[in-house]
């Protein structure tokens, strides 16, 4: 069995992605979980580039690995709970049920992917997934959701300030 360059690239990003994602769940310290999540986001961006989603890959790095993770790290350090945040006396039964349930869901999804296993990838031009191509769709077909997103972000900013304020 020979592997093409694309398959090798996929595996180079996919295997660390699964490992770091598992690290998020396995880590006892939230700081280690956050660091694993940053690595997972970078690997995910690599997978996105492999799917010709150039704009979304850049957004993944900027918004997720940049803004969202800084927010997470900021809160972890702000609360500075130290050893209090470590997972102590884990509930074994709960963990077992959670893992079994997740395995069931993954099995269900994997079975569902067999329906589309034979579908070929479409031939796409060089401009597929670029800022120009996505922007054109975003500002014509998805204009209303796009504007609604700006409202959502405004509400989120106001909500975050109000909730985190000491006295309302």
Partner 1 sequence: MVPLSWYLLLAAILFGIGLVGVLTKRNALVVMMSVELMLNAANLTFLAFSRQQGNVGGHAIAFFVIAVAAAEAAVGLAIVIAVHRSRGAVNVDEVSELREEIDVEGPTARAG
- State the minimum distance, in angstroms, from the CB of residue 21 to partner 1: 5
Of 28, 23, 25, the residue nearest 83 (C-alpha): 28
Of 49, 43, 51, the residue nearest 21 (C-alpha): 43
In the set 1, 2, 83, 110, which binds partner 1 (CB under 8 A)?
110
Report if residue 82 touches partner 1, rule: CB under 8 A. no
**Residue 71 and residue 103 in contact, taking contact as beta carbons nearer than 8 Å:** no
Q: Which is nearer to partner 1, 1 or 163 (CB)?
A: 163
In the set 16, 39, 51, 61, which binds partner 1 (CB under 8 A)?
51
Residues 3-22 that bind partner 1 (CB under 8 A): 4, 6-7, 10, 14, 17-18, 21-22
Report if residue 79 touches partner 1, rule: CB under 8 A. yes
Report if residue 58 touches partner 1, rule: CB under 8 A. no
In the set 1, 2, 83, 123, which binds partner 1 (CB under 8 A)?
123
Residue 23, C-beta contacts closer than 8 angstroms, at least 6 positions apart? 32, 33, 36, 39, 40
Kindly report the number of other CB atoms within 10 A of residue 94's CB atom: 9
Residue pointed to by tokens 């790095």? 61
Report if residue 64 touches partner 1, rule: CB under 8 A. yes
Residues 136-165 that bind partner 1 (CB under 8 A): 137-138, 141-142, 145-146, 149, 152-153, 155-157, 159-161, 163-164
Report if residue 48 touches partner 1, rule: CB under 8 A. yes
DSSP 71-106: HHHHHHHHHT-GGGGS--S--HHHHHHHHHHHHHHH
């Amino acid at each position: 069995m020979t592997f093409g360059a694309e398959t090798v690239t996929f595996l180079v990003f996919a295997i660390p992605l699964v490992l770091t994602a598992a690290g998020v769940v396995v880590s006892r310290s939230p700081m280690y979980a956050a660091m694993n999540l940053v690595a997972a986001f970078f690997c995910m961006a690599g997978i996105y580039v492999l799917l010709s989603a150039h704009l979304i890959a850049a957004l993944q790095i900027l918004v997720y690995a940049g803004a969202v993770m800084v927010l997470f790290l900021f809160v972890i350090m702000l609360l500075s709970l130290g050893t209090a945040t470590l997972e102590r006396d884990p509930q074994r039964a709960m963990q077992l049920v959670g893992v079994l349930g997740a395995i069931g869901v993954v099995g269900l999804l994997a079975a569902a992917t067999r329906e589309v296993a034979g579908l070929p990838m479409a031939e796409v031009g060089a401009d597929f997934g670029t800022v120009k191509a996505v922007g054109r769709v975003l500002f014509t077909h998805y204009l209303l959701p796009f504007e609604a997103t700006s409202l959502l972000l405004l509400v989120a900013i106001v909500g975050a300030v109000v909730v985190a304020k000491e006295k309302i």
